[in-house]
Amino acid sequence: MSADVPVATPRKARPPRWFLRPPGSEAAARLFCLPYSGCGASMYRNWPAMVEGLEICPIQLPGRENRLRERPHETYQQLAAEVIDAIGPHLDRPFGFFGHCGSALSSYEIAVQLARSGGPVPTCVFVSSQVAPQEGPFGSYLEMDDVELAEEVRRLIRELGGVEPREDLVRLSLRVMRADVDANAKYRMAEAVRLPCRVSAIGWKDDVNIRPDQMTGWRDCGRTVFRLLGGSHFTFLQAPADLREVLLADMDLPLTAAP
């Protein structure tokens, strides 16, 4: 009688450090989503992995969450160059970028560098709740010292995370938030670089941080369309149906079923 030999279960491969999950091979197109100031890729946890044929690919940046020990980027130009290197193998089909608030600018800079290098260009760059780059830097965070910024981090953890912030978490988050705010402050251009692709400028009706009428400068940044959606500054975190419809429409993908 032979003894049963246990069969080793192969370990599931970890996703590359730049992605929460490795991009698949079935999607018609990919949307690379950049986290906004002070946050990591898990901020997109309430977004579906797929919106019809559009794969949602949250990007994990250095200094955040599972990359906590790494040094955050100092400029959007540095961030863009490293992201392009990381996502290069996944630009084998139509793709776009989504950024909200500060990450709208880093998404734009990625597209600028791709266009300048002669590489593949996105179908669309989605810029949500942000003024155009030639009209910045702009935003309340830019004037805050570390004490004020730490208090803002605590407020965001309470409001968005639903928990009372631990001070060790506040210190770690402040490090990333300060790096992001400083990168925003350094991102200055006298006039916009016009992208050879669509730019979808998304404003939110009840947004008191960036009013939709403050976003008109994006008209100089590409083949720009303006979208006005219901909700406030953080409504996008829930991937509402009207936002998903905009993503599909501006990526030139069909809406085949009700969201």
Q: What is the CATH number of the domain that holds 239?
A: 3.40.50.1820
Does the pLDDT at position 2 exceed 70? no
pLDDT at residue number 142: 85
Residue 85 lies in a domain: yes
Q: Which two tokens stand for residue 90?
A: 């996944």
In a domain, 94, yes or no: yes
Residue 20 is predicted with a pLDDT of 86
pLDDT band at 4 (very low <50, low <70, confident <90, very high): very low
Q: What are the tens digits of pLDDT across the range 26-77?
A: 999 999 999 998 889 999 999 999 999 999 999 999 999 899 889 999 999 9
Q: Sort 185 into a burial class: Cβ within 10 Å, 0-12 / 13-18 / 19+.
A: middle
The confidence score (pLDDT) of residue 134 equals 96
Structure confidence by residue, pLDDT tens digits, 21-30: 899 999 999 9
Alpha carbons 47 and 163: distance in angstroms, whole number: 21
Q: Is residue 172 domain-resident?
A: no
In a domain, 4, yes or no: no
The Cβ-side half-sphere exposure at 151, using a 13 Å CA radius, reads 5
Q: pLDDT tens-digit profile of 80-136?
A: 999 999 999 999 999 999 999 999 999 999 999 999 999 999 999 999 999 999 998
> Is residue 247 exposed (0-12), middle (13-18) or buried (19+ Cβ within 10 Å)?
buried
pLDDT value of position 9: 41
Q: What angle, rounded to 10 degrees, do the helices at 76-87 and 167-186 form?
A: 100
Angle between helix 102-117 and 76-87 (nearest 10): 60
pLDDT at residue 161 tops 80: no
Greater confidence (250 vs 168) lies with: 250
Cβ-based neighbours of 148, under 8 Å, separated by 6 or more:
none
Residue 257 has pLDDT above 70, yes or no: no
Tens-digit pLDDT profile for residues 5-20? 444 444 444 456 999 8
* Residue 105 domain flag: yes
Assess if residue 208 is contained within a domain: yes
In a domain, 170, yes or no: no
How far from the centroid of its chain's Cα atoms is residue 59's Cα?
A: 7
Predicted pLDDT at 218: 98
Kindly report, residue by residue over 172-211, the tens digit of the pLDDT. Answer: 889 999 999 999 999 999 899 999 999 999 999 999 999 9
156 close to 234: Cβ distance less than 8 angstroms: no
Q: Average pLDDT of 132-144? A: 88
What is the spatial distance between Cα 156 and Cα 173, in angstroms, rounded to a whole number?
11
What pLDDT does 256 receive?
Answer: 67
Stretch among 108-117, 151-160, 167-176 having the lowest mean pLDDT: 151-160
Note down the domain range covering 63: 29-135+190-250
Lowest mean pLDDT among 106-110, 119-123, 160-164, 212-216: 160-164
Per-residue confidence (pLDDT) for residue 165, from 0 to 100: 80
Q: Tell me how many domains the chain contains.
A: 1
Backbone angles phi, psi at 151, to 5 degrees: -65, -35
CB 127 within 8 A of CB 202: yes
